[in-house]
Structure 1
């Protein structure tokens, strides 16, 4: 299934979905849905415009109207120019006031006032979308948009006097990095640099030195942020590891240092889906049973029963039912700004794992039987076997599947193993290990007999032994 702009209607209700989020990412999420799901396009875009109008970001408001114009919604494409002009003027006045106050704080050399002034300025840059880049100056991209907010937050570091101040700044840097990554991808750029920045900032949380009760609130955010950042970069195993380590308190954390991650970035339901898919694509059956279904992460899976069901089906070797369950929610997950670009690759890995696990129980399987259990997507009944043949060949060439392809007879044949030779090799290895152990014991006996062993005193120390 391709990640395109023709996705079917999802299973969730758009208004209920929107109520789970707030902040700058909400209109961006809704804009993403509008450009990928025709059945929800108008509703999502209308909600995105309303959400943007409740904020201060005129640039985002204008981009949403450009999307409406591109999609052919003439009524939504008409901007409220009076509101935009009034808001731009208010933003300029507020920016001038904050910059003036910050200059005054710096002249007075009061570190706490400078830190708070810098925080207010960065928050303003974030809420307004930052300065507009100069089309004639390519370097202005680095100091415009959300980049300006990130740099303003970074300047707080020199004026932080307590670990709590550093923790507050770090959370804002992580949030801004994730916002930069999503905005960059939607603009057609690469989000890799921003996800790497989020990773480096999140790793600093453990070394901040805050009190234990405050660290207990920061660690779930750290794990969730690392999981999302690694997911964005395609490091699915690392993403699964951190997402599965996220404490269940994350879903009910609320605002930490005025940053409500579950509502501003990813909810507990999102963590369940991200972690479940990454784990299903990278972990074996034993790990899924112990770390996912049997570990603390099960709390998140209770929020998404279909994800828990899919993992349970895989662990009980019901691969076809597992893939069908996942396929039913493909549209939902493709409309997520963090997960959407990776859904098809994750599905492909899960499918390859399922085929490999299914085939491991047989010495040979017909391609027609394999195709009936794992029907290839977007194929007609006439070329299903041919598509399965090409898929099996691709898996063999990549080393994913240890098998031989018999094209003439339409069979997938497992490699022959010489059981007799393998038994002889195991026996020889065991004999070598026994011989080595006996030689080491004999050497010790000879050392004791020759008086070469260092005696130990009652305390076991070298001083009591006469050294």
Structure 2
């Protein structure tokens, strides 16, 4: 009876999650929850456990219990309350589903005292006018706010560190703090903005590939671009993240090396053509070490590059439940898988002038979804230039008219020659008038801005670049 009651509550809970547009994973995932969560540290451990608890029907109770234990090991009373409330909906008879009011009250009192102590300490530092102490005071207060779940106040405290940052290393640390908290808040434009600030203010630190800060910020930027729907940019950034020689990843606050392998492989499959996929992913000395952590993805990439599209799609489908449990990837799996599937079908059809729908269904068909309906959607979207012969049950591939192609190329060539002729005539006229046209140079001013300046000289011999600087 108790088991039936839990099953009904689970079904009701996940029906509600599905109605809200959240993914629901019914299958038993391949991951071991305890080993999986060991790949992370910091606040993301709770976030990932809580996401799995609201996504997987199999791991729901186990993940929520682990999330409650993770919250009680910290200071965030709000996170603990959310996990307990969710567990109470699916398994009210579990001991962990009872809210520990004594712990919550004691933790709130402790948090309030610590907040007052750190604020008083910061005021003392400001009165003493010691910049380094003020910077550290803001950092301590920001970490405290982050630990108790006051993320907006944490952002403000970390942002206040910037005026007192005296070196490029300090600027990078400020950027890392802001990026981490913004990721917890799911504020992706702020993540991209702060990574850009670090690149501008401390470019040498960011450009050093083996620096932990560089890898951390590159990973954060790639995840934010993926969340914003910029899959191509995200793919290029993920596959350019170097792996540390000692495999010491501080990036585990946001993503593990296995996550980087998954993000890079799936994004690359969805957005890159075969030559770029081979050069930038499979044969890349930068990204290849990540694929060693996820051999099934390396196999899928090899299958795609070698034209074995069905085997590639089968591997990806078998791991769909695991990717739906990922905190950052789950929202985009339907779109990315659809893009990969479309690419596979288009590449498979290149050698054919026509093909029967039955043979196409044997290769790419999915249960319950007629292949003709999927092909129609591809034709309407412009991904496939073809027509369906409903009488013969064939897909007829359309090739462009060679005459039209030749005419378009001839017109493009004529337009190019016309533009070149006009440019040369202008240059001849300028030289005949004793003038000279030069490309303006771009200089960086002391303020950090850049602008184009004339490449000439002033009448008194001064260089305008010196004047700009």
Whether the aligned pair in 1 keeps the contact of 2:25 and 2:321 (CA below 8 Å) is no
Number of equivalent positions: 406
User: In the alignment, what sits opposite 1:54?
Assistant: 73
User: In the alignment, what sits opposite 1:44?
Assistant: 63
Deviating more after overlay: 110-119 vs 344-353: 110-119
User: In the alignment, what sits opposite 2:383?
Assistant: 400
Say if 2:254 is the partner of 1:234. no
User: In the alignment, what sits opposite 1:271?
Assistant: 260
User: In the alignment, what sits opposite 1:199?
Assistant: 192
1:229-270 Cα shifts (integer Å, max 9, x gaps): 11111111011010011112288244xxxxx22x21101110
Normalised TM-score (structure 2): 0.80
Deviation at 1:198, TM superposition (A): 0.4
Kindly indicate whether structure 1 or structure 2 has the higher relative contact order, using CA contacts under 8 Å at least 6 residues apart. 1
Whether the aligned pair in 1 keeps the contact of 2:198 and 2:206 (CA below 8 Å) is no
Change (3 A) 1:97 1:308: same
Task: Structure 2: give runs of 5+ residues left out of the alignment.
Answer: 1-17, 426-469
Say if 2:216 is the partner of 1:221. yes
Whether the aligned pair in 1 keeps the contact of 2:155 and 2:178 (CA below 8 Å) is yes
Say if 2:291 is the partner of 1:291. no
Change (3 A) 1:251 1:319: farther
User: In the alignment, what sits opposite 1:151?
Assistant: 156
User: In the alignment, what sits opposite 2:331?
Assistant: 341
Say if 2:392 is the partner of 1:409. yes
User: In the alignment, what sits opposite 2:43?
Assistant: 24
Whether the aligned pair in 2 keeps the contact of 1:3 and 1:334 (CA below 8 Å) is no
- Alpha-carbon separation, structure 1, partners of 2:214 and 2:197: 11
User: In the alignment, what sits opposite 1:246?
Assistant: 241
After the TM superposition, which residues 109-124 of structure 1 pair with which residues of structure 2 at under 5 Å, given as runs? 109-124=129-144
Normalised TM-score (structure 1): 0.80
Change (3 A) 1:92 1:247: same
RMSD: 3.1
Task: Structure 1: give runs of 5+ residues left out of the alignment.
Answer: 131-145, 182-193, 255-259, 444-467
User: In the alignment, what sits opposite 2:442?
Assistant: none
Say if 2:304 is the partner of 1:314. yes
User: In the alignment, what sits opposite 1:188?
Assistant: none
Deviation at 1:223, TM superposition (A): 1.7
- Alpha-carbon separation, structure 2, partners of 1:431 and 1:46: 68
Whether the aligned pair in 1 keeps the contact of 2:169 and 2:205 (CA below 8 Å) is no
Whether the aligned pair in 2 keeps the contact of 1:221 and 1:250 (CA below 8 Å) is no
Change (3 A) 1:322 1:214: closer
- Alpha-carbon separation, structure 1, partners of 2:247 and 2:104: 36
Deviation at 1:6, TM superposition (A): 3.6
SS in 1 for 2:388: strand
User: In the alignment, what sits opposite 1:96?
Assistant: 116
- Alpha-carbon separation, structure 2, partners of 1:428 and 1:159: 62
Change (3 A) 1:353 1:250: farther
Deviation at 1:364, TM superposition (A): 0.9
Deviation at 1:16, TM superposition (A): 0.5
Whether the aligned pair in 2 keeps the contact of 1:68 and 1:74 (CA below 8 Å) is no
Whether the aligned pair in 2 keeps the contact of 1:122 and 1:152 (CA below 8 Å) is yes
User: In the alignment, what sits opposite 2:314?
Assistant: 324
Deviation at 1:423, TM superposition (A): 9.0
Deviation at 1:430, TM superposition (A): 12
- Alpha-carbon separation, structure 1, partners of 2:254 and 2:346: 35
- Alpha-carbon separation, structure 1, partners of 2:131 and 2:108: 31
User: In the alignment, what sits opposite 1:389?
Assistant: 372
Deviation at 1:358, TM superposition (A): 0.9
Whether the aligned pair in 2 keeps the contact of 1:203 and 1:222 (CA below 8 Å) is no
Deviation at 1:422, TM superposition (A): 7.0
